[in-house]
Structure 1
Amino acid sequence: MQAVLSQTKFTTVAPQGNLNAANALEIERDLTTMLRHEDTQALLVSFQDVESFDSAGLMALVSSLKLAQALNKRFSLCSVSSAQRIIFELTQLDRVFEILDLEAEIAILD
């Protein structure tokens, strides 16, 4: 369901397809596993290949964010399309998540 692009200081996860009720538990489990890994200092979730997401997908992200905060780890989203960003804005989750644009993502990973 996802590809780990790098596992150095920042771990980048690139989910593909839909983040929805059918796979939300799997996504949350995978993100939780990565966050609990001692080498992961920050988790960057790339939305580049995410086609759509629903409330269950959002809740998986929120749960992962809460865990990251409890572990004092950074949890960020990047490559969020304008249509996807509207959903974050409507739910006011754009105030909760750190949402980076592509330029910021590249700067962080370099």
Structure 2
Amino acid sequence: MQTLLIRPRKTQLETTAILQPQGSLTNNSVTWFIHQVNAAVMSEKHFSVVIDMNQVDSIDSAGLMAIVNAMKLAQRANKRFCLCSVPRSVSMILELTQLDGVLEIFESISELDSIFEIAA
């Protein structure tokens, strides 16, 4: 099951979409995630898209590709795209694939709140 939260920025003119996938981002479960993240990126309501990975316990090549493709889509749409709260097991995969150097990754939602000025 995936969750989509929309948090207004302090300006109230722009919003940040925060997606919170749960469980695994694998070939068997990634379709819904792809649909939701693409919709969030393409929405004119969202200035930035954050994937809160806190409850993701595993990821495979399909999940990695979904994240990379979402990042590229966000770049083309001139939107900020980042990950936060990445568990160690997923972080190791991002490091091995060298995606940790390509993706913008934050330690926590709290860190994002201060950087993105997301209203609580």
Number of residues of Structure 1 aligned to a counterpart in Structure 2:
110
Mapped partners of 1:56, 1:82: distance in 2? 19
CA distance in 2, matches of 1:77, 1:24: 16
SS at match of 1:56: helix
In the TM superposition, what is the alpha-carbon distance from 1:81 to its structure 2 partner? 1.6
How far does residue 26 in structure 1 lie from its aligned partner after superposition?
2.2
Structure having the higher Rg: 2
Q: 61, 76, 82: which is aligned to 1:55?
A: 61
Show the counterpart of 1:69: 75
Q: Name the structure 2 match of 1:106.
A: 113
TM-score w.r.t. the length of structure 1 is 0.92
Q: Deviations over 1:55-98 (max 9, x none)?
A: 10110111111100000001000000222211111000001110
- TM normalised by structure 2 equals 0.85
User: 1:20–1:57: 8 Å Cα contact kept in structure 2?
Assistant: yes
Shift of 1:45: 0.3
Report the Cα distance in structure 2 between the residues aligned to 1:85 and 1:20, rounded to whole angstroms. Answer: 15
Q: In the alignment, what sits opposite 1:40? A: 46
1: CA distance, partners of 2:5 / 2:78: 22
SS of the residue aligned with 1:72? Answer: coil
Q: Is the 8 A contact 1:7 1:40 kept in 2?
A: no
The separation in 2 between residues aligned to 1:51 and 1:81, in whole angstroms, is 7
Q: Once superposed, what is the RMSD of the aligned Cα atoms?
A: 1.3
Post-superposition offset of 1:10: 1.0
Structure 1 CA distance for aligned equivalents of residues 5 and 39 of structure 2: 16
Identity of aligned residues (%): 36
Q: Is the 8 A contact 2:57 2:90 kept in 1?
A: no
